[in-house]
Amino acid sequence: MASWTDIPQYEKILKHIVEEFIGEIELYDYETENWNKDDKKEIREYFEKFFKDPEFDGLIRKATH
C-alpha cells in the first residue's frame, strides 16, 4: 500500500501546512523578521520528515478508517 505522501496533492498540502505553521508563529509575535529562506526550508524539511515517518502514516490510516 502506498504512503499518503504519494498522493498528487501532497506538495500542495505540505506547502499549506508550512505556511499555516509560520503564520501561527507570526501571530504570536515570535521573532520571525530575521528568518530567511533557509529557515523556512528547514521547517519544511522537518514537516516532510515527520509526514514520511511510518508511525505518522499509521496514525493517518487509523484516523481515516
> d(Cα 60, Cα 56) in Å, to the nearest integer?
6
Domain range enclosing 32: 7-64
> What is the identity of the amino acid at 28?
Y
Per the structure, the count of domains in the chain is 1
Reported residue count of the chain is: 65
| pLDDT one-digit tens code per residue, 28-41 | 766 666 777 788 88
Residue at 37 is within a domain: yes
Residue at 12 is within a domain: yes
Model's pTM, two decimal places? 0.71
| pLDDT one-digit tens code per residue, 42-55 | 999 999 999 888 89
